[in-house]
Amino acid sequence: AQKITQTQPGMFVQEKEAVTLDCTYDTSDPSYGLFWYKQPSSGEMIFLIYQGSYDQQNATEGRYSLNFQKARKSANLVISASQLGDSAMYFCAMRPYSSASKIIFGSGTRLSIRP
Amino acid sequence: GAVVSQHPSWVICKSGTSVKIECRSLDFQATTMFWYRQFPKQSLMLMATSNEGSKATYEQGVEKDKFLINHASLTLSTLTVTSAHPEDSSFYICSARFGAGSQPQHFGDGTRLSIL
């Protein structure tokens, strides 16, 4: 079965601290992609970062990095030096390439940054 | 980056009305478009997947006669909620992707649909 699990429904973090959002996944596909999206209260979904299952290095995009541990099937998002504007819902997602199209979303983590 | 435009952003209408939502990829050709529904404080639920020029593939439990999807071109897909009722009130969000593999899906800003 294909599944994404985000075990943290909500998190509070002090501004300027680093934060790690957990994500574990389950798939029998040998090839897949992992994504993180941010959804502010306004509703739009913003693509943050991508990690391919065969990528040797962890993906980084500015203040975002993905801590990819394939053996543990985890793909945690790390946000360094958090900012007030980082407060949002964060969704981890996976697309097993055998399914051709479907991307599977986790239940999300609501991140709140305290000033 | 890739831009997906969704229109309208907010709709309020009476029960029984049909509502059309447009999703456009502005700077790339979207070979595949997706329609999602999101209830408050929940994750996205995939409703259907559409490839340009083909009939949409609906997820189990989604009424294809209720939610009509048209993907007439590589830059436009529409979702029509026919004879909408209050239970259809939700946040609808589209996404588009060019090609396959590692290409991410790019999302529209969503449409808040409220049926009175």
Q: What is the pLDDT of residues A27-64, one digit of tens each?
A: 988 889 999 999 999 888 999 999 999 998 999 999 99
C-beta atoms of A44 and B100 within 8 A: no
Q: Which chain B residues have a beta carbon less than 8 Å from that of A51?
A: none
Q: What average pLDDT does the segment B23-30 reach?
A: 87
Residues 6+ apart with CB under 8 A from A51: A33, A34, A35, A58, A59, A66, A68, A75
Q: Which residue has the higher pLDDT, A48 or A103?
A: A48
Q: Which chain A residues have a beta carbon less than 8 Å from that of B112?
A: 43
Band of the pLDDT at B102, cuts 50, 70, 90? low
Instruction: Tell me the residues of A at the B interface, defined by beta carbons under 8 Å apart.
Output: 33, 35, 37, 42-47, 50, 52, 91, 97, 100-103, 105-108
DSSP B70-88: EEEETTEEEEEETT--GGG
pLDDT of residue B58: 94
C-beta atoms of A107 and B42 within 8 A: yes
C-beta atoms of B110 and A43 within 8 A: yes
pLDDT of residue B20: 97
Nearest CA in chain B to A91: B43
- Name the least confident of A8-17, B32-41, B81-90: B32-41
pLDDT of residue B100: 65
